Amino acid sequence: MSDKPSVKIVFAPVFRKAFQRLRKKYRRIDVDLKGLLDQLEVGEIPGDKIPGIHPHQIYKARVPNSDAQRGKSWG
């Protein structure tokens, strides 16, 4: 058994709205985001921690955009 706790991911309403809008332009966004969501569900913390945000821990993670045909930083 893994020592990392599994987590449940809940999307904020503002994220859902933005995601629906982006889905129209980027058809494969579901596939692109799935890898990140899988990591989060098993308790991994991908990305870089953003300092100075208290009391919460916030991380920035880049996800490749397979529709843009460029690297992660351009996606």
For residues 50-61, b (16+ Cβ closer than 10 Å) or e, as one string?
Answer: eeeeeeeeeeee
What is the reported pLDDT for 67? 84
Model pTM score: 0.68
pLDDT of residue 13: 94
**15-74 tens-digit pLDDT:** 999 999 999 988 999 999 999 989 888 888 888 988 988 887 888 888 888 887 765 555
Q: Give me the pLDDT at residue 75, please.
A: 47
Residues 63, 74 contacting (CB under 8 angstroms): no
